[in-house]
Structure formats: C-alpha cells, structure tokens
Amino acid sequence: MPKIKTNRGAAKRFKPTGSGGFKRAQSHRRHILTKKSTKRKRHLRSTGMIAECDKASVRQMLPHV
C-alpha cells in the first residue's frame, strides 16, 4: 500500500486553525496593483477562512495536518 501524500499546492495555501478550520490568504494581490486603491489593497492583506462546504475537500488534500 503506498503512502498517503499531501497535496503540496494546498499545503502552501491553507493553514489549519485550532477549531478545525483553515486559514487562507486573499486573492488579487500579486500584480496589476497600481489601479487598485490603497484601501482595497489594505483589506486584501487580511486573511480569511475557507467556506464550510470546502472543508472536506481541503481536509482530504491535507491528510497529515
């Protein structure tokens, strides 16, 4: 039986929380930032949580977390 592997892309994007959820970063902050307002960029710095309906998928991709 082969070992269960972690999805490395998901491991870099999601961090587990103590309550069983996963933290994620906001999107749209990599490039083309000149046209975005300072307020918009500031709000994109904050982290968010993944939706409840996506929890099972992320947990399956990160079996050892």
Q: Where are the beta strands (DSSP E) in the chain?
A: 15-16, 22-25, 47-49
Q: What is the chain's percent helix, strand, coil content, to nearest 5?
A: 35, 15, 50
The angle at the Cα of 13, spanning 42 to 50, to the nearest 5 degrees, equals: 75
- Is domain 8-61 given the CATH code 3.40.30.10 in the classification? no
Could you tell me the pLDDT band of residue 62, with boundaries at 50, 70 and 90? very high
Q: In this predicted model, what pLDDT tens digit does every residue of 5-61 receive, in sequence order?
A: 999 999 999 999 999 999 999 999 999 999 999 999 999 999 999 999 999 999 999
Determine the Cα–Cα distance for residues 31 and 63; give it in Å rounded to an integer. Answer: 32
pTM of the model: 0.86
